[in-house]
Chain A
């Protein structure tokens, strides 16, 4: 078999595994989030479908499939239908750049074709030269799904949700981008594999310790970018019914939810890669390449799970920001802090060089 076809098969495998893996993680995120929130609020949460409610995501999926597909009379039909598609497409496209834990070595099992045995597979769909800038571009395109949904619904609550979301994501994207700059300066590369490789060795080499203020800014801006509590103003149910997805039902609603959760997973995975050492275990005597690279993969997965739990925890703990406070905080605290810290990092690096 020619190397090109081998490469294509390998990439197709990685794309398929990543996409379906994300779908599974998304559906169980919804269950785990509800169980965690219930635990924090002294409730039980969904525990009836299967042992510990493990089959709840499938029940939810089947229910959403059979619900009535409703489009409001005054809605702008083409944009109303296009909006969830845009949201999901941009969410999944942005996962292409994330590295999901080092390289896996395929074990030499007899039933595998010979070229696959011992092959080293990078767990990343595309290793672009512009790296995380690509993610920045797609996250700015992701706003359009929400804006479109809000406007096309022809509902004032949805419209306000869409407007809020565009203003919020626009403002916090700036802080998010600025929080990446110190990491890029330290690593002098945009590419995620190099950023992760730069954090090898003991865990105090991780960027969350090296550029601690940038990590804090990333946490806050990332939460806002994923529209999570305390920054979930686009869908603030106490004031806007359900915000931009008020008029959505059935699978279109499920797609908007999916886009949101995939964005949250991407933000978590990116945070792990950029600040928490990625697939590095942080203990040099335990190399991430051990056991066919599975050590690295599970280290990464555990860190992402921790990050996601942090988001659930926030939702169970913090009340929602008021809108003007959100804007003040974004523009008058986060952006200046991030900008000053970039100057500090650049100054220190220039002094050391």
Chain B
């Protein structure tokens, strides 16, 4: 009962904030709304009995990545977007077509989805997540991802600082 109330509150908050992210003209407000979305998602993870994912969601996305977003927005002092519908006519037609394709895909996914009849309990403790991540199934993928991130890091430094 409490879980359902919490879930619907958080889900509504996430949806409203997500709409604010794209409807807002001021980029700073959009960034803060995105932080609200990420925090609500973290709350939903916590309800699902997965505290580790919930915390990592905040540490990585709401904490680290959004700070960088805000940093750039504030440093560049981005002004409010002008009230301009934007884009030429063919561009808007293309956008409408893409939106239709996306809506169809979402509809297809929802139609095919299998909904749980009752609350399913997953054990997703930190230990379980770690054991799964370092099991033979995911170990190589996990390490490959690490190398990818490291390569991106080195690449960013090389691009930003040409004379080391």
Contacts of A159 in B (CB 8 A): 74
Determine whether B58 belongs to the interface, using a CB cutoff of 8 Å to chain A: yes
Q: Are B74's CB and A151's CB within 8 A?
A: yes
Of A144, A148, A151, most buried by chain B (CB within 10 Å of CB) is A144
Q: Which residue of chain B lies nearest to A151 when distances are taken between CB atoms in the complex?
A: B74
Contacts of A128 in B (CB 8 A): 51
Q: Are B52's CB and A140's CB within 8 A?
A: no
Q: In the bound complex, how far is the Cα of B58 from the Cα of A93, in angstroms?
A: 14
Q: Are A141's CB and B125's CB within 8 A?
A: no
Given contacts A130-B51, A130-B126, A151-B28, contact A137 B59 (CB under 8 A): yes
Q: In the bound complex, how far is the Cα of B55 from the Cα of A128, in angstroms?
A: 11
Task: Point out the residue from A130, A147, A170, A173 that lies within 8 Å of B55, measured CB to CB.
Answer: A130
Q: In the bound complex, how far is the Cα of B63 from the Cα of A163, in angstroms?
A: 15
Contacts of A136 in B (CB 8 A): 55, 59
Q: In the bound complex, how far is the Cα of B68 from the Cα of A166, in angstroms?
A: 8
Q: Is the interface of A mostly helix, strand, loop or mixed?
A: helix
Task: Point out the residue from A137, A138, A140, A147 that lies within 8 Å of B74, measured CB to CB.
Answer: A147
Q: Are A137's CB and B71's CB within 8 A?
A: no
Number of A residues near B (Cβ < 8 Å) is: 25
Q: Are B52's CB and A166's CB within 8 A?
A: no
Q: Which of A142-166 contact B (CB under 8 A)?
A: 143-144, 147-148, 150-151, 159, 162-163, 166
Determine whether A190 belongs to the interface, using a CB cutoff of 8 Å to chain B: yes
Q: Are B70's CB and A166's CB within 8 A?
A: yes
Q: In the bound complex, how far is the Cα of B70 from the Cα of A159, in angstroms?
A: 12
Q: Which residue of chain A lies nearest to B57 when distances are taken between CB atoms in the complex?
A: A137
Q: Is the interface of B mostly helix, strand, loop or mixed?
A: helix
How far is the CB of A250 from the nearest CB of chain B, in Å? Answer: 24
Q: Are B55's CB and A140's CB within 8 A?
A: no
Q: Which of B26-75 contact A (CB under 8 A)?
A: 28, 32, 35, 39, 42, 51-52, 54-56, 58-59, 62-64, 67-68, 70-71, 74-75
Q: Are A162's CB and B74's CB within 8 A?
A: yes
Of B35, B42, B70, most buried by chain A (CB within 10 Å of CB) is B70
Q: Are A140's CB and B59's CB within 8 A?
A: yes
Q: Are A163's CB and B71's CB within 8 A?
A: yes
How far is the CB of B157 from the nearest CB of chain A, in Å? Answer: 11
Determine whether A64 belongs to the interface, using a CB cutoff of 8 Å to chain B: no
Determine whether A129 belongs to the interface, using a CB cutoff of 8 Å to chain B: yes
Task: Point out the residue from B52, B67, B74 that lies within 8 Å of A170, measured CB to CB.
Answer: B67
Nearest 7 CB-CB pairs, A to B? A140-B63, A137-B58, A130-B51, A133-B55, A137-B55, A130-B55, A137-B59
Listed by A's residue number, 19 A-B pairs whose Cβ atoms lie within 8 Å are A79-B28, A129-B51, A130-B52, A133-B55, A133-B126, A137-B55, A137-B58, A137-B59, A137-B62, A140-B62, A140-B64, A141-B63, A144-B70, A147-B70, A147-B74, A151-B28, A163-B75, A166-B67, A166-B71
Known: A133-B52, A140-B59, A163-B71. 9 other contacts (CB 8 A): A79-B28, A128-B51, A129-B52, A130-B52, A134-B51, A147-B74, A166-B70, A166-B71, A167-B71
Chain A positions near chain B (C-beta within 8 angstroms) = 79, 128-130, 133-134, 136-138, 140-141, 143-144, 147-148, 150-151, 159, 162-163, 166-167, 170, 173, 190
